[in-house]
Amino acid sequence: MQQLNNKQILLGVTGGIAAYKAAELIRRLQDHGANVRVVMTKAAQEFITPLTLQALSGNPVHTDLLNPEAEAAMGHIELARWADLVLVAPASADFMARLAHGEAGDLLTTLCLATHAGIAIAPAMNQGMWRDPSTQANLQTLIDRQVAILGPAEGSQACGDIGPGRMLEAADIAALAAAQFQSGSLDGVKLVITAGPTREAIDPVRYISNHSSGKMGFALATAAVEAGASVTLIAGPVALATPERVTRINVESADQMHQAALAELGHCDIFIGAAAVADYRPANIAEQKIKKNDDNMTIALVRNPDIIAAVASHPQRPFAIGFAAETQDVLSYARGKLKNKNLDLIIANDVSDSRIGFNSDDNAVTVVAETSETAIAIASKQQLARQLLAVIAEHYYAKNVK
């Protein structure tokens, strides 16, 4: 299974004899579907050339913090934002010390400070260095800060010693990197998500619709599966591949989406309405293609059912979450919808900001509950979906004891 499909892994390589294994690690990460970019410290370049890792990753290797050319291509903050996971392998004793102390003297440590992504390190060093109390204290600091520690293994070392400090094998590191995305926070929970636009037919060849891409709903489905949930995605017409392990039900109109949603109740714990449902549909669908006659024409429209409101007022009501895409007074409109539709949470986003929303790849939202608001800063829809799911899980368990 490609557990790192569409995941962006920033691979940091530090100086140590195990640096040569970074070449194979890139391949193993790619086997899992990852897109890999490499950052090398100065010392790492003494052990393996940037050119080798560039050829394998298919991306330029980043080495300098203060190189204007590299910064112009992809600045260090952009790189920090790009990453879904920062994986440092091998992580030397020196790197662990610098990370534990929050230093930012080179590109890799700076990225580790700047990123919102998780950090995982695969230590590799002489067994004496590993056992040293300074390294062990740094290790504890990193563990306390939620840095994932992959390995090290025990065995014979390049220096002739035997003991702990060998870097794990590339295949094991890749598998553990993939496991970082499987949070388990929604283990056994059943989620239903609506996504994309709806299409309301006018005649056999025409329809009313909107520009929703479905990306946010699909990203939520992926993140929910990774969090351990079983997920049904009710999708309007969008050109997106079905995420792995997700059950997809394709629909066209709001009516069909409504029927599909109601059919899921009874075996649904959390319902997320991420679809941009058309509020109205033509009162009549012409049986034949409508021919042009007059200079003006009028299409009578009738209201569509409000799907999320119907779900939230159903006797078998799941934990219900809606979206509010607004262009002004975002939070107050969102609060209004939370109340009117009887929702547990509403996810508000400001679609007047052209960097986020409908057809863009990024989003920034505020999760509004009855008594709280949680803002999530701009990030790719994939990264945002993972953060959103963590907030959703917290609210869900506060109401439904685990």
How far apart are alpha carbons 191 and 267 in whole angstroms?
9
- The H or E element containing residue 317 is none
Closer to ligand CTP by Cβ: residue 93 or 233 = 233
Residue 94: closest CA among 53, 124, 49: 124
| Minimum separation from the CB atom of position 308 to ligand CTP (A) | 3
Question: Based on CB atoms, which residue is closest to ligand CTP, 303 or 402?
Answer: 303
Shortest Cβ 6–ligand CTP spacing (Å): 24
In the complex with ligand CTP, the residue whose CB is nearer, 47 or 358, is 358
In the bound state with ligand CTP, the residue whose beta carbon lies nearer, of 226 and 326, is: 326
Active site residue 112: no
If the CB atoms of residues 150 and 254 are measured against ligand CTP, the closer one turns out to be 254
The one catalytic residue in 137, 159, 241, 377 is 159
Least spacing, CB of residue 194 vs ligand CTP, in Å: 6
- Least Cβ distance, residue 282 to ligand CTP (angstroms): 15
Q: How far is the CB of 280 from ligand CTP (least distance, A)?
A: 9
Residue number, 164 or 305, with CB nearest to ligand CTP: 305
| Residue 237 preceded by cis peptide, ω within 30 | no
Cβ of residue 397: shortest distance to ligand CTP, in angstroms? 22
Determine the Cα–Cα distance for residues 71 and 54; give it in Å rounded to an integer: 17
Residues at the interface with ligand CTP (CB under 6 A): 194, 254, 273, 275, 277, 279, 304, 306-308, 322-325, 337
Which residues, including other chains, have CB under 8 Å from residue 73's CB and lie 6 or more apart? Answer: 60
> To which H or E segment does residue 380 belong?
strand 373-380
Of 180 and 194, nearer to ligand CTP (C-beta) is: 194
Q: Are 363 and 379 in contact (CB under 8 A)?
A: yes
Element (H, E) at 120: strand 118-123
DSSP string, 60-116: PPB--SS-HHHHHHS-HHHHHHH-SEEEEEEE-HHHHHHHHTT--SSHHHHHHHH--
Helix H or strand E encompassing 385: helix 381-399
Least separation, in Å, of the C-beta of 242 and ligand CTP?
Answer: 20
The answer to whether 210 and 304 have CB atoms below 8 angstroms apart is: no
- Using CA atoms, how far residue 35 sits from 59, 266, 282, 299, in Å, is 9, 39, 45, 48
The least distance separating ligand CTP from the CB of residue 152, rounded to whole angstroms, comes to 47
**Contact (Cβ atoms closer than 8 angstroms) between residue 45 and residue 13:** no
CB 97 within 8 A of CB 138: yes
Token pair for 350: 């400001």
DSSP secondary structure letters along 129-168: HHHSHHHHHHHHHHHHTT-EE--PEEEE-TTS-EEEEEPP
28 Cβ contact list (under 8 Å, min separation 6): 170, 171, 173, 174
Which are the contacts of 291, defined by CB distance < 8 A and separation ≥ 6? none
When the beta carbons of 307 and 369 are compared against ligand CTP, the nearer one is: 307
Q: Which residues are catalytic?
A: 159
